[in-house]
Structure 1
C-alpha cells in the first residue's frame, strides 16, 4: 500500500459537469483508438500487438480517471485482473479491476470509488470491479474462479508493497495449493466441455469457452502459473513439460483463435463469443476468405477454426497428463507385451524411439488399445511421438499389403468404431486416408448439418456401433434385429466411413465417394462382392431416405421400384442400418419416431417384396465360392479333406451356399458324413450364447406333408417356438430344412439330444397322425394384432406359386399354416420363415398335387383356409 491510513484521504473536488465532459471525451478517444485498431486489424497487423495496444489505451483512460477521483496519497491500489490483467483486451470485452484497500480505506474512499466507476461506465468502459482487503482477497479466493482472475493481476496504480501483499494473500500456502488447484481446474474444464457436447465441431462454436477454444489455452497458463510459477507456456519447455514443437503449435493456434475472436467482436459490434451464422459470412469476408470452385469462403474459415481447436485439445490433453505426473510422481510401468506398457493407466510405447516411422507400429498401438478396456488414454510421451511421426506415415495406397491387412484387422477386432475415433482424433486416420483429412473440420453452411463432415461421419459410426450393443437403442424400431444378420459388420463401417468423404469437391459426392471406396477396398484386398456392396452403399446412401420421406411407400409401384434397385436382402439390411445411422448422425433434432416408422415400414415392405421373388442376389457366384472356401477350411479342422468336403457339398442345395454362413454349412456337411444318401438325418445343437435356443437340421427324402410334420412335431411334441426356418429342396428328391427354435415353456426344457431323438422317432412313423395342438393366443399379443395378409405370385421360373403370409405371430402359428398346406395336399419346395417382434412373415414356394402352380380357384381355397385358421386362433 502507499501509506498507512491515519484519516480519510482528501478527494478531488466533485464536479458532475466536468466529469461528464471528461467521460464524453474519453468515450470519443476510445472509439477513435478502436477505429484505428480495426483498420490495422483489416491490414493484417499482429494480433498480439493489437490486443496489447487496446489494453494500453484502456490503461491510459483508467489511470486518468483514477487520478481525477483518487488522491495521490490515498492508501489504495488498482490492479487489472482476468483477461485484462493478462494485457490482452478484445474490442468489446469487459474490463475486470481490483481495488486493494483495508476496511478503513474502503469506507473513507467509498464516494471517490463510486465516482470513479460511474465515470468509467459513462466513458463506455464496462468495468467489473471488486474492492477488497488482503483478508477479503484470501476469503474470496476460496472461489476458484475469483482466485484465477486474481492470479493474473497486473498493477495499474500499485507500489511494490501492494503487489507483494496481494501475492501473499492468494499464495498457494493460504488457498488452493497447486495440486488441488490443478485437479479443480481440470474438473472445471471437463464440465465446461460437457456443456458443449464435448466437441468443438458444432454449427455455431464458442471461440472462448468451447472445447479447444481460448479458455483451454488460458487454463494451461493458469495451471502452469500456479504449479510452476511461470506466466507463459514457453518456460515449460525448459522444465521438460512441453516440447518446442508443441509450444510452437499452441502459439500458432492461439494467434489464429485470437484473430477470429477479435474479428468476431468487430463484425458483431459487441462482446460476442459464439461464432453464430449471422456473423460467419461477414467475418470470413473481413478476414479475406473468398469462395472458390469447391468451398465457400465461410467454409474455409470454419475449417481452419475446427482444425485449430482439434490441435489445441490434442496438446491440452498431453499437458494435463504431464502436470498430473508432476504432482503424483512417475508411475511404475506395467508391461503388456514387448512393445507396450501401462503407466498410471495410460498406454505407452516401451521404446524411446517408437514408432520408428512405421505404420505397422502405429496400428499395433491401436490394436493394443482396443484390447485393453481399462486404458485411460494414450500416454502423453507416446502421443507426442505419434504426432511427430505423422508426416512420415504413408497413405494406404503407398503402404505395404501387410499394413493394409493390419488396418482391416482393426476393423474386424474389438471396439472398431472407438479405434476409428481415436485414429481420427490423433490424426492417423487422415494420414492413412487422405480424403478423410480433406473433410476434417469441413462444415456445410446450412441449418441441416450441425456437425463438420468428419464429426458427422464419426457420429454415424457411433450409431452403427450402438446397433451392435446388447441393449437396443429405443430410438430405432428394428436396427437391433437387423444388425445380427450382417455377415461382415466391417463392410458397413467402411460404407459409413466413406459415405460423405467426397463432400466439398464439386460434383455428386455420392458418386465420387463410391469411386474412393472402391479404390480403397480393392487396395485392401476385399473381394468384388464386398467391394461392390460398399461402393453401392456409398453411391446410394440417400436412396432409402429420399424414398421414405418423399414418396408414397403405401404405393406398391414405389416399393417395386425401390426393391428392384436394392435387388437383394444383403443390400437392404446394410442400407437400412446406414440410413438410420446417417439421419440420426446429421442432427440430434433430425431423428424422430415418424422417420423411424417410415424407414421401418419401407424396410419391411421391401423385405417382403424381395422374399416374394424380386430378389436377385448380387455377386452370387462370389458369395457361393467364398462360403464354400470358408466351410472347406472349417471341415479341414475336423480332418475332412477338400475332396471329401466337395463330395458332401454336392449332396447339399446350391442355394444354401448363397444364403447361409460358412459355420452352419460346415456343421450340416459334417452331419452328412456318416450317412448314406437317401437316409434321414436329424441334428440339433444349442446356439452359442442363447440358453434354451437350438438350431435344428433335418435332411431326408421328400414326402408329402414332411415339412408340416417337422414343424408340428417341434411345436406340439417338444414345446419349441420356431423363430426362423428355411426349407430347401436338395439334390435327388431330398429336403434340407433348418430351424432356429427356443423353449416356449421353461418348465419343460428338452435338451439337444432329446429333441434329436424325439424328432427322428416322429419322422420315422406315419406323418398323417402328427397334428397340431389347439392354443390360445397369449394375452400380450392381443394388443399387437396385425391384419392378416395372404398374397400369391408366380415363382421366378414360373413353375410354382409363391405364397406369402403376414400376420401376428403366436405360438403354433407355423404349425397351423403347415397343417393347412398339408390338408390342401400342397407340396412345399421352399420356405422362408421369419419373425420380427410381433410380426410373422412367412413365404412358401408351393405346388399342387401335380407339382404345378395354383390356379385361381386353388388360391382362393387356400386363402380362405389360411385366414380361417389364423383368425380362428387369434380369436381364441
Structure 2
C-alpha cells in the first residue's frame, strides 16, 4: 500500500474544504456552484503547472503537484458528500494511487466498505462521483468490500494490479490493513502466477505494436519501451519481492545502481514527453501522433538545424529512451524469473560460456576483458541458436563495458578480423541485430550510433534508420535461406550466384548510414563504407564493389519506377552504369531488400515485377555486350516471336495471328511484354475496327492487383474518363501505357492495386464499369470521386512542382509533377488535363510514401507539343488543383 501523498497546498483555494455539519449537511452553496468553483481551481492549478513545465521544472515534481491538487479536491468532495463517521474508506488506485497524474490522466478511486454500508450510503457515494465528474474529474470508480476486492482480483489481474498501488485518501489504519489482507499473495495471485501472467500480458501488449517502439506514431504509455514497461517492473517487484518501487532492488542485488539510474532517467524523459503531449493535445492522448509531434517538439525547446528537424530530434530521444527501457526490462524480468524458479544447474557450452536456464552466460569473473571477448560472446551465441537470449548478469556486464569498448579505427587487424568472421559465420544478420540492440554495433561503427533512433519525418520511411537497416539485413537473410519467398520473384535464383555474400551485408549496413548529416547520404555513406572495408582488410576490388553499391543503391529503384524499362535505350543506359553481372546481382538484391524494408506497404507485386523485368533485360544486355545495343527492329522481332508462340499454343492459326498483330501498334512490340501482347491480341478477336473492348485479369503475387486493357476509338477525354472510373472503383493506378493503334484506336493498359490495400475488386466488375463509362457520349461527365484526405497526409504537405520538357523525338511535351500523394490525385490531375483540352499519350506513376512523382507525355488537340502560353496555363491550373483543395 502506498503511503499518503505529501500535504503541500495546491495552487488555488479548495472549494468546500470546511467540515460538514451533522449528518453530512452541505454549506450554503449548491453542488453546481461547488463543482464550478472546483473546476476553476483545477484549471488554475493546471495552468500554473503548464507554465512550470514550460520553464523546464522537474517532471516528477510537476506530476506530484498535480496529484496533490487533485487529492485536495477529491477529499473536499468526500467531506461534502459523505457523512462524518460513515464506515467508508476512500483510496486512490492505479496510476492515481501511484501518485502519477498527468494533465489528462484518468482518475481511479476505490470506496472500501462492507456490503451493508454500501447499501446504506449508496446515494451519498453516487453523489460523490457525480460531483467529481461535474468538477472536471471524471473518475473511474469501484465500490467493494474487502471480500469483493479479493473476488474481483482473483478474476482479473488488472484489478489486483490497480489495487496493489492503492493510496489512502480517507481511510484509517484498519481499512488499510483490511485491503492489504484482501489482496495478499496468500489470498490471490501468488508471486509465481502473477509474474507469469504479467509477463505474458506484456508480450501480448508488445505484439499489438509489432514488437517495436520504432513506429512513426509510437504510444508513450503502452508501446514497447514505454512507461507501462517501467510500471510492469514496479508491479513485479512488489509482488515477487515485496519491494515498493525499483530503488530497493539495488540493495537486494536485483538491480545495479547504474541500471536503476538509467531506467529512472529514461522514465523521466518519457514522463516529460507524456506530460507535454497531454498539454498540446488538450485531451487524453498517449500516441505521439503526427498531429502533435511538431507542436510538442517546439514546446520542448527543440529547434530545426541543418541536419535534423526539431521533430526528428525529439523522436530520436524517444526511440533511444524506449530502447534502454526495453534492455533493462528484459534483464530484470529474467532476474525475477530466477528469483522464483531458483538457480538452474549451468550447462557448459564451450570454454568460457555456459547456458543458465537457456540464457548465454560468460563464466569469466572479469568478463569482458575487451572487445575480443565481446566478439567471442556473439560467436558463441551464433553457434547455439537454441539459446533464449543473453543472461542478465552478462547483459549487465556488457552494458557497463560499452563506454570502454573501442571503435574499429582503434583496433588491430586481428580484432577487425574477428568482426569479419562474425559477418561470414552462421546467422550473421541475427548477430548484427543483437549487436545493434545491445549497443555494441554503435560502439564498433560510430556512424551507426548516430543514426540509431533517428527517424525521418515523412511517410516513406516508417522505421528509424537503424531499424530500417536491420530490416534490410533481415530481408537479405531471407534471400540466403534458399527458400523461395512469394514476395520476390527471382531473388532465390540470384542469391546462389553471389561470390561473397558478406559484401551485400556490408552494403546493406552502410547504405543509409550517412542519413542526417546533410549532403547526399549515398555519397557520404560510400566514403564511410570504403574506409571501413579497407580497414577490415578487403581487397581493392571488393572495397570498390561495396562502395559502388552504397553510392548507387537508389539507381535501380529510380530507373524501374520513373523510367520506361520497355524502352531499349533506358535498358542500355542502365546496363552501361551497372557494367557487369556481379554488380547487377548485388544491386538487384539490395534494391529489393531496401524497398521491402522501408515500409510494409511499399513493396508489392508491381514493384517486384518491375525490378525483375529490369534485372532480366539488363542481364540480357550485358550478355549481348554493351557495345551492341539492341536495335528497335530486333527487339520488336523478339517480342513478336514470343507472343506468336503463346498464341499458337492457344490454337490460333498463324495467318490470324498476323492479322491481329497488324491491327496493333508497333510500339507495343518494342516496349511491351510478350504475354501482354498475346493477351491483347486475344481481346481483338471479334472486335471490329471501330469497336470497344475492355479486359481485366489478375496479376500474380498480390491480392487485388489487376492488369486492365482498354481498346477504343480515340476521342478526347478518354484517358480522364478511364482514370476517374478506376478511381471510383477504389483502384490506384501504378502504371499506365497509352499507345495509338494503326486504325485510329487507342491501346491503353493499366496496372492497378486496391487504393486502401484491402478491398479487392473483381476483374469482371472492372470490365463492366469501364464498358458502361465508355458507352457515354459525353465523357466529360465522368468525374473523380470526392474523398476526405487521410489524417496523416495533412502533416506532410509538399510544395507542388510542375515541370515541362520536350520528348526525345520532339513530338510531345513531357509533364513532370511532384506533389503530396492523396486518394484521387491522378484522377484530379487527368481532369485538369481534360479541362485544358490536352491529350495524354503515356504516363509513369510513382509514389514514395506521401510523395507522388508522376510523368506524362501530352500534346494539344492537334497532337503538337504545348507552346509556352499553354504550359503556363496548365501549370496554373495544376497548382490551383493541388494547393486549393486541402479537404481532398
Check conservation: 2:504, 2:590, Cα contact below 8 A. Answer: yes
Query: Which residue is 2:375 aligned to?
Result: 363
Matched, 1:343 2:329: no
Paired residue secondary structure (2:434): helix
The structure number with the bigger radius of gyration is 1
Distance 1:782 1:167 in 2: 82
Check conservation: 2:479, 2:492, Cα contact below 8 A. Answer: yes
Query: Which residue is 1:548 aligned to?
Result: 560
Query: Which residue is 1:443 aligned to?
Result: 455
Check conservation: 1:76, 1:101, Cα contact below 8 A. Answer: yes
Distance 1:477 1:128 in 2: 54
Matched, 1:27 2:30: no
Query: Which residue is 2:683 aligned to?
Result: none
Which of these residues, 540, 543, 554, is aligned with residue 531 of structure 1? 543
Which of these residues, 429, 437, 453, is aligned with residue 425 of structure 1? 437
Paired residue secondary structure (2:24): coil
Q: How does 1:271-420 map onto structure 2 within 5 Å? A: 271-356=284-369, 358-420=370-432
Matched, 1:473 2:485: yes
Matched, 1:583 2:615: no
Matched, 1:48 2:60: yes
Worse overlay, 460-469 or 423-432: 460-469
Distance 2:230 2:447 in 1: 30
Query: Which residue is 1:266 aligned to?
Result: 279
Paired residue secondary structure (2:111): strand
Distance 1:783 1:567 in 2: 39
Distance 1:783 1:434 in 2: 61
Query: Which residue is 1:201 aligned to?
Result: 214
Check conservation: 2:185, 2:239, Cα contact below 8 A. Answer: yes
Distance 1:573 1:292 in 2: 39
Query: Which residue is 1:483 aligned to?
Result: 495
Paired residue secondary structure (2:30): helix
Query: Which residue is 2:233 aligned to?
Result: 220
State the 4+ residue runs in structure 1 displaced beyond 2 angstroms.
9-17, 781-785
Q: CA deviation at 1:13?
A: 4.2
Q: CA deviation at 1:120?
A: 0.5
Query: Which residue is 2:269 aligned to?
Result: 256
Distance 2:249 2:525 in 1: 44
Paired residue secondary structure (1:325): helix
Paired residue secondary structure (1:490): helix
Query: Which residue is 2:504 aligned to?
Result: 492
Query: Which residue is 1:457 aligned to?
Result: 469
Distance 2:525 2:256 in 1: 38
Matched, 1:122 2:134: yes
Distance 2:572 2:38 in 1: 76
Query: Which residue is 1:84 aligned to?
Result: 96
Paired residue secondary structure (2:301): coil
Distance 2:73 2:452 in 1: 45
Distance 2:365 2:674 in 1: 66
Paired residue secondary structure (1:141): helix
- What are structure 1's unaligned runs of at least 5 residues? 1-8, 617-777, 788-805, 809-836, 838-876
Q: CA deviation at 1:331?
A: 1.7
Matched, 1:181 2:188: no
Check conservation: 1:397, 1:523, Cα contact below 8 A. Answer: yes
Query: Which residue is 2:183 aligned to?
Result: 170
Structure 2 length-normalised TM:
0.68
Query: Which residue is 2:584 aligned to?
Result: 572
Distance 1:157 1:782, change over 3 A: farther
Q: Residues 354-385 of structure 1: CA distance to partner in whole angstroms, max 9, x if unpaired?
A: 011x1111101001100101111000000011
Q: Residues 553-612 of structure 1: CA distance to partner in whole angstroms, max 9, x if unpaired?
A: 111100000000000110111111111111111111111111111111111111111111
Q: How does 1:669-748 map onto structure 2 within 5 Å? A: none
Query: Which residue is 2:30 aligned to?
Result: 18
Distance 1:200 1:211 in 2: 5
Check conservation: 1:11, 1:112, Cα contact below 8 A. Answer: no
Distance 1:598 1:163 in 2: 69
Paired residue secondary structure (1:552): coil
Q: CA deviation at 1:12?
A: 3.0
Check conservation: 2:368, 2:397, Cα contact below 8 A. Answer: yes
Distance 1:784 1:83, change over 3 A: farther
How many corresponding residue pairs?
619
Query: Which residue is 2:242 aligned to?
Result: 229
Distance 1:63 1:319 in 2: 37
Q: Residues 438-494 of structure 1: CA distance to partner in whole angstroms, max 9, x if unpaired?
A: 000000011111100000000000011111123321111111111111111110000
Paired residue secondary structure (1:522): helix
Distance 1:615 1:319, change over 3 A: farther
Query: Which residue is 2:157 aligned to?
Result: 144
Check conservation: 2:461, 2:599, Cα contact below 8 A. Answer: yes
Q: How does 1:459-858 map onto structure 2 within 5 Å? A: 459-614=471-626
Paired residue secondary structure (2:90): strand
Q: CA deviation at 1:524?
A: 0.3
Check conservation: 2:22, 2:84, Cα contact below 8 A. Answer: no
Query: Which residue is 2:255 aligned to?
Result: 242
Paired residue secondary structure (2:141): strand
Q: CA deviation at 1:338?
A: 1.7
Distance 2:291 2:183 in 1: 42
Distance 2:312 2:157 in 1: 38
Check conservation: 2:26, 2:80, Cα contact below 8 A. Answer: no
Q: How does 1:56-71 map onto structure 2 within 5 Å? A: 56-71=68-83
Distance 1:102 1:467 in 2: 66
Q: Residues 612-646 of structure 1: CA distance to partner in whole angstroms, max 9, x if unpaired?
A: 11299xxxxxxxxxxxxxxxxxxxxxxxxxxxxxx
Which of these residues, 96, 109, 118, is aligned with residue 108 of structure 2? 96
Q: Residues 803-831 of structure 1: CA distance to partner in whole angstroms, max 9, x if unpaired?
A: xxx999xxxxxxxxxxxxxxxxxxxxxxx
Query: Which residue is 2:722 aligned to?
Result: none
- What are structure 2's unaligned runs of at least 5 residues? 1-20, 629-644, 655-672, 676-700, 702-888
Q: Residues 267-319 of structure 1: CA distance to partner in whole angstroms, max 9, x if unpaired?
A: 11111100011111111111111111211111111111111110110011111
Distance 1:346 1:32 in 2: 53
Matched, 1:111 2:126: no
Query: Which residue is 1:75 aligned to?
Result: 87
Q: CA deviation at 1:11?
A: 5.3
Q: CA deviation at 1:232?
A: 1.1
Paired residue secondary structure (1:341): strand
Q: CA deviation at 1:346?
A: 0.5
Distance 2:415 2:290 in 1: 43
Distance 1:63 1:505 in 2: 55
Distance 1:526 1:488 in 2: 11
Q: CA deviation at 1:351?
A: 0.8
Paired residue secondary structure (2:280): helix
